[in-house]
Amino acid sequence: MSVFKQSLAELRPTLALALPITVGQVSQILMGLTDSAMVGHVGKVPLAAAAFAGSVFGLFFIVGTGLLVPVSVLVARAHGAGRPDECGQWLRHGLAVALAVGVFEALVTSVLATQLRRLGQPAEVVAAVNPFFVIIGVSLVPTFLFQVLRQTSEALGRPWQPMTILFSSVGLNALLNWVFIFGHLGAPALGLTGSGCSTLLARVSSVIVLWIWLRRQPDFRPLLPRPGDLLALSRAHLREMFRIGLPVTGQLLFEVGAFSTAALMMGWLGTVSLAAHQIALSCAAFTFMFPLGLSMAVGIRMSQAVGRKQREALRPIGFGALGLSTAVMGTFALVFVLAGGWVVRGFTADPDVAALAARLLLVAAIFQIFDGGQVVGVGALRGLTDVRIPTFITFIAYWLVALPGAYLLGFKAQLGAIGIWVGLAAGLACAAVLLAARLARATAHRPPAAAAAV
């Protein structure tokens, strides 16, 4: 069978896993949009405070997410090898890391909440953000615990239940927002603080429901640890988790840091550029959820194939997913080119902002094809536990190509917002090409163990 036919054959199981994962990712986006929409009805100060808190909170979330990525990779590999006891060990160590990191970051955010005034924000924003920031910091604990349970369920081929719970939590969060933000059903009107309470309750409910569901499954029940088991940890298991998790955290921070810096550059150009950037980036972030879900699925499938010693399946799985990502993002690119003006009018009535955002979407049409390629490539390599070289690649792509290119084109070449986005697109193209080349080498010339040792 040709590689092309093998890739097509591998797409069906990859899609079956990617679809519920993608819906789960979209659910998290919808929760954030719901919060913003409902808080916005309270006033511009709470909305600004929520945006400010979210930008700081995101850094803590990324660190925890990166450290927990190894759970899906290692559980999937053990599952592929037919070692259920080892799956339970990785789950136990993942829960212990999630609890430790979540509690530590919750304490740090509580202390940081007393120092937010030092970040140069307006006094009314700082006054509004403090209790909200502390509450969403505490919500990191259930968030990380849910992530470990979700990744384990997905790695064992059961993605639909976590997806259903995530999707239901969007509705629960909206209901609780209605109760606590505006003061319905006898509750006090807490405004932004009420939104934080809703987020915390929705996240706690989600992890409890997922735990109960897992306990009721005969094949999952033996894997779940008792509370005392979380203290009986193996240094070798923790070392392996951090060997993978720390570089992945670096990859995420390099990427997010680059886009945050690009947003600062947009601010230097003025309000119109910054607003247009936010609109175009929101559109690109939505379409990005599709290759992101595919990336998570292909990482799991690559890990399972390694565990089963099915080396011949690695390249068809990885490059089949890359081809699908290119096709999907190419379709979205056509939408941006043909209907970009109509799309941006749904965000703003300002003609200057709408015109610039529509031009940015033309750049995004190319931008997102490479964005999809790089995220699928890095996900496939994580499935091989090949993380150090990809981390170096992301540093080069975002900090040596994207940001310098964005600055030179945006300001020295005086192309403004368009130049900044072209620079970002160049960095993403660099990442996509180098990661695809790395994947080709890892699947053609190296056994999985050697790739893991790189």
Going through 124-273 in order, the beta strands assigned E by DSSP cover none
Asked whether residue 120 is assigned to any structural domain, the reply reads: yes
Residue 1 within any structural domain of the chain? no
Same domain, 260 and 278: yes
- Count of CA atoms in the C-beta half-sphere (13 A) of 173: 28
Quick check: is 115 in a domain? Answer: yes
pLDDT for the residue 2: 64
Same domain, 202 and 269: no
Domain count, the chain: 2
Mind giving me the DSSP string for 240-273?
Answer: HHHHHHHHHHHHHHHHHHHHHHHHHHHHHH-HHH
d(Cα 134, Cα 202) in Å, to the nearest integer? Answer: 16
The pLDDT value given to residue 451:
44
Q: Are residues 315 and 334 in the same domain?
A: yes
Are residues 121 and 26 part of one domain?
A: yes
In whole angstroms, give the CA distance from residue 300 to residue 385. Answer: 11
Tell me which residue has tokens 């992530």: 147
312 in Cβ contact with 393 (< 8 Å): no
Tell me which of 233, 256, 291 is where a domain ends. Answer: 233
Closest CA to 422 of 334, 363, 370: 363
Rounded CA-CA distance 302/316 in Å is 10
Of 199, 233, 267, the residue that ends a domain is: 233
Q: Residue 8 falls within a domain, yes or no?
A: no
273/199 same-domain check: no
Residue 238 domain flag: no
| pLDDT value, residue 27 | 83
Q: How far apart are CA 289 and CA 286, in angstroms?
A: 6
The total of other beta-carbon atoms located within 10 Å of residue 153's CB is: 24
Please, which residues have CB within 8 angstroms of residue 219's CB and are 6 or more apart in sequence?
84, 156
Q: How far apart are CA 398 and CA 442, in angstroms?
A: 22
Domain carrying residue 101: 19-233
Q: What is the pLDDT of residue 336?
A: 92
Q: What pLDDT score was predicted for residue 445?
A: 54
CA–CA distance, 392 with 361 (Å, rounded to integer): 29
Comparing CA positions, the residue from 391, 379, 378, 386 lying closest to residue 448 is: 386
Residues 157 and 54 in one domain: yes
pLDDT of residue 104: 96
Residue 452's pLDDT is 45
Q: Are residues 166 and 142 in the same domain?
A: yes
**Distance between CA 284 and CA 280 in Å, rounded?**
6
185 and 265 housed in the same domain: no
Residues 267 and 416: beta-carbon distance below 8 Å:
no
pLDDT of residue 379: 95
Is the same domain home to 203 and 249?
no
List the structure tokens of 391.
């981390």
In order along its 454 residues, the chain shows pLDDT tens digits of: 566 777 787 888 898 899 999 888 888 778 877 787 787 777 777 877 777 777 788 889 999 999 999 999 999 999 999 999 999 999 999 999 999 999 999 999 999 888 877 766 667 777 778 888 899 999 999 999 999 999 999 999 899 999 999 989 999 999 999 999 999 988 888 888 999 999 999 999 999 999 999 999 988 988 988 877 777 889 999 999 999 999 999 999 998 889 888 888 888 888 788 888 878 888 888 889 899 999 999 999 999 999 999 998 899 999 999 999 999 999 999 999 999 889 888 777 788 888 998 999 999 998 899 999 999 999 999 999 999 999 999 999 999 999 999 999 999 999 999 999 999 999 999 999 999 999 999 998 554 444 444 3
Give me the pLDDT at residue 227, please. Answer: 75
Q: Give DSSP secondary structure letters for 409-444.
A: IIIIS--HHHHHHHHHHHHHHHHHHHHHHHHHHHHH
The vertex-353 CA angle with 349 and 354, nearest 5°, equals 60
Question: Are 250 and 197 in the same domain?
Answer: no
Please check whether residues 218 and 286 belong to one and the same domain: no
At 79 the pLDDT is 94
